[in-house]
Structure 1
């Protein structure tokens, strides 16, 4: 049996314990209690979440051996330093555990305990710069869903904790079990650690259903030319009216927004597949690999080959 201990402190994010469902459903998929999950806090007893909900915990001093420790994050890791007894415990228990994970801003606690020194890590994008400033010996990568560096795992904010927990299940029980768990949890997709925290669809944030529909159509048809006339026709607007409304709602021209969607899709294919660049360029709507390279240099400051190399090195 693999024991998973969640280390909670007052004000912890509720989303952190939502990740326990991943381990629960892994047990259902394999048909036996492979994982045993418990909540801990320094003194034990009731611990209140940021939402005000209380969770019962066991005291750290009464613990049994734990294989995986997961440190829950809080809404504002800068409001107060982690409790001294929590840091002392992590310094003792962290090196003895099979692995230790920091969900969202829980990575700050792991870093404060010295367990991220000279390692790669990520956290919620809103606090990544502060993490790098506070812990200069940590290589903070602010555009990753989760990062595994040896026995230390860290995730980006909120729902990225689900991806981290699912990756742990895949490590322990294999890809097929992880896929089945994701399916049962109705997760839209299993995101890899190298995937960006940011989504162009979220960044554009259209206000009307028409522009949202146009963007959804574009993302599903990136291999097409996707002219303004075509997009406008799909949402029953004139090209001139469509361009005006689109720019008003998103702050970008249709052409620039479509290129951003193409870049996002191409980057994911480059990081997560072995497809040749010619194929990726065609699938995402670029004229050829040269056009793809030009767009990457504008958007990321790196050629596609460098992005693929970084992804493979990270893996």
Structure 2
């Protein structure tokens, strides 16, 4: 129920001023009868699995526990519908343990994939052809994407919005949902201490300051001093609380800022590099090619109307399939 709720919150709710048209979310199921969800809930799917072939993107939420341990098979109808959608070139994404449905359909064979960390060992054992990674929040492998459990599914949903409509729209939606605007997929899904023990122990003030000052040179030693920690302690706290190093976090924030500037301004490439803290135009191009697979100019061309004031860009239709 949680993963379906995430999909509905991101793709099924239209927020004024965010983007128009928004996604058309359709809940699909093996049968129209109500299915048991969490205790006290029942779930009705108004659409059948034939809807998946007409969707642009198919989301597969977590499957029942029995489909994870193998005491119950993923419904054959769902497997057939997923294969048909994949053969038609549809984008298919699993949330949490929906990866077991994709694996049962053979869609993860030879691909990197993830799921909730508590079940990745089972996924690897039951489907040895899958390259399972239990250390990441989500994996984007082109037209097949998988995510970790719980909030990792939300990160993947926001990543899909970012791919479709740009960084600015995804960041605005994240603010509406009161969640971090961008957590990179490579961030660890299981961290030692995600919640600070006391307010004084929190990294959030210094990270918020850094996010507002990305145009500056931000040596890790200076950030550590601002946080009142030694560089070694700051590095360790970042790893334990966020799951990545300070430099990895800074790079992700700067790439995100550069994407926003390319979408919403006509600044020259060298100015985008300066304002995002990525340096020269050549360095910006190198980092975009390495991490995004496109040049800054190509990225700007792909989102000519990401800003609502410039007019809407057609959005794909999302179909949400459940096991």
Normalised to the residue count of structure 1, the TM-score between the two structures is: 0.64
User: Aligned partners of 2:18, 2:292: CA distance in 1, in Å?
Assistant: 30
SS class of match (2:224) = coil
Task: Decide which of 233, 244, 248 is 1:267's aligned counterpart.
Answer: 244
Structure having the higher Rg: 1
- In structure 1, the residue matched to 2:187 is 195
- The 3-state SS of whatever aligns with 2:92 is strand
Quote the residue 1:160 is aligned against: 152
1:31 deviates by 4.3
> How far apart are residue 64 of structure 1 and its match?
6.5
Q: Of 51, 56, 60, which aligns to 2:49? A: 60
* Pairing 1:176–2:168 present: yes
Contact in 2 for aligned 1:119/1:139 (Cα 8 Å)? yes
Q: Could you tell me which residue of structure 2 aligns to residue 122 of structure 1?
A: 114
2:25 pairs, out of 16, 29, 37, with 37
C-alpha deviations, 1:74-98, integer Å up to 9, x for none? 3622252211221122112222143
Cα 1:114/1:62, change in 2 over 3 Å: closer
**Per the alignment, do residues 259 and 75 of structure 1 end up closer, same or farther by CA in structure 2, a change over 3 Å counting?**
farther
Which structure ranks higher in relative contact order (CA pairs < 8 Å, sequence separation ≥ 6)? 2
* 1:168 CA drift (Å): 0.7
Please list, as runs of the form range in 1=range in 2, the aligned pairs for 1:62-77 lying within 5 A after superposition: 65-74=54-63, 76=65, 77=68
Q: Once the 2 structures are TM-superposed, how far is the Cα of residue 184 of structure 1 from its aligned partner?
A: 1.1
Instruction: State how far apart, in whole Å, the 2-side matches of 1:263 and 1:193 are.
Output: 15
TM-score by length of 2: 0.63
Alpha-carbon distance change, 182 to 174 in structure 1, aligned in 2, over 3 angstroms:
same
- C-alpha deviation, 1:37, in angstroms: 0.4
Q: Say if 1:19 and 1:178 are closer, same or farther in 2 by CA, change over 3 A.
A: same
Instruction: Give the 3-state SS of the residue equivalent to 2:193 in structure 1.
Output: helix
Unaligned runs of 5+ in 1: 1-12, 228-254, 276-308
Aligned to 1:222, which of 218, 221, 224? 224
Contact between 2:188 and 2:244, CA under 8 Å: does it hold in 1? no
Structure 2, unpaired ranges of 5+: 207-222, 253-286, 294-323
Distance in 1 of aligned mates of 2:37 and 2:51: 22
Q: Distance in 2 between matches of 1:102 and 1:187?
A: 20
Q: Using a 3 Å threshold, how does the CA distance of structure 1 residues 27 and 115 change in structure 2: closer, same or farther? A: farther
Superposition RMSD on alpha carbons, in Å? 3.2
